[in-house]
Amino acid sequence: MTEDVRYPTAVREMPEEDRPRERLSRLGPEALRDAELIAVLFRTGTREAGAVALAERLLRHFGDVRGLSRASVEEIQQVKGVGKVKAVEIKAALELGKRLAEHRRAAQVKVRTAEEVAELLMVRFKEYETERFLALLLSTKNEVMKICEVSRGGLSGTHAAPADVFRQAVRDGAAAVIVAHNHPSGDPEPSRTDLELTVHLKEAGALLGISLLDHVVFGDGRYVSLKERQLL
Q: What are 214-231's pLDDT values in tens digits?
A: 999 999 889 999 999 999
SS3 209: coil
Q: What are 106-153's pLDDT values in tens digits?
A: 556 889 899 999 988 988 888 787 889 999 999 999 999 888 889 887
Exposure of 69 by Cβ count < 10 A (0-12 exposed, 13-18 middle, 19+ buried)?
A: middle
- pLDDT given for residue 184 in this prediction: 87
- pLDDT given for residue 17 in this prediction: 56
The full set of domains in the chain, from first to last, is 11-102 (1.10.150.20), 110-225 (3.40.140.10)
Q: What are 15-36's pLDDT values in tens digits?
A: 555 677 788 888 888 888 888 8
Rounded Cα–Cα distance for residues 33 and 91 (Å): 18
pLDDT above 90 covers a percentage of the chain that reads 33
Around Cβ 62, how many Cβ atoms within 10 Å?
Answer: 16
Distances (CA, A) of 24 to 8, 41, 147: 18, 12, 32
pTM summary value = 0.56
Q: What are 44-74's pLDDT values in tens digits?
A: 777 777 788 888 888 899 888 888 888 888 9
Rounded Cα–Cα distance for residues 107 and 31 (Å): 27
